[in-house]
Amino acid sequence: MNALSLMSEDIIPLSTSASGAEALEMMNDFHIEHLPIVNDKQLLGVLSEEDILNHDVSEAVGSYRLSLNNAVADENDHVFDVLSRMAESDLSAIPVVDLKSNFLGVISRQSLMNYFSRSFSFAEPGSIVVLEMSKPDYAMSEISRVIESENVAILSSFVTEDTLANRIQVHIKLNKVDIHRVVAALDRFDYEIKAMFTLADDEDAYEDRYASLMHYLRM
């Protein structure tokens, strides 16, 4: 999955003649805090809500000094690269350009969340278990062997890292809601269970998983 296939069809860029007030209204309509400013096909930069509030909202945004001139995704960037770039600049939306730096469209945070929820089985019935361990102890093949021995399948997984403590957390989505046998098996093999979730336990599951991914890619 690349940046080109993640673009939001509804979000349109700002022209240089749009006022700050118009930009705020568009951000409110799209539920984002950032919008690209485009002159014809040329991307001039990304306007943030903070940029607008630091200027006269009646003036054209083309006269504003932008704080995000280099926040951009290339059309062939992998979804993880897009997510990393958004995390680095704390963006709610990022513009996409082609190989000639022509503006192509916008990827919103919501579209990324929707992609990850579908691709990593976050919406599937089941449970999430989080294991914590030192980096040298991590072996997904061994963890899989323990879990699958209880006739439970792993739907998806990813790792977050605490670089200061040299420890990692392994987030594992399982296809069963009742995972008591899995927990007991992991405990027998001395795995440290940091947390457990079901969809019913956590109404903000998508947000939490997205936040964890963002944290991981900042490392």
Q: Residue 65 burial by CB count (10 A; 0-12/13-18/19+): exposed, middle or buried?
A: exposed
pLDDT of residue 161: 85
As a residue count, the chain comes to 219
Give backbone dihedrals phi and psi of 163, rounded to 5 degrees, phi first. Answer: -65, -30
Q: Where are the beta strands (DSSP E) in the chain?
A: 34-39, 42-48, 73-74, 93-97, 103-108, 127-134, 154-162, 167-174, 192-198
* Residues in CB range of 183: below 8 A, 6 or more apart: 129, 193, 196
Q: Which two tokens stand for residue 139?
A: 């072996």
Q: Which two tokens stand for residue 55?
A: 């200027």
Give the percent of the chain with pLDDT over 90. 60
pLDDT of residue 204: 52
Nearest to 112 by CA among 219, 209, 13, 12: 209
* Residues in CB range of 102: below 8 A, 6 or more apart: 41, 42, 43
With a cut of 50, list the residues of the chain below it in pLDDT.
201-203
Rounded-to-integer distance, Cα 15 and Cα 36, Å: 9
pLDDT of residue 202: 47
Q: Which two tokens stand for residue 117?
A: 């929820």
Q: Which domains does the chain have, with CATH numbers?
A: 3-114 (3.10.580.10), 120-218 (3.30.70.260)
pLDDT of residue 94: 96
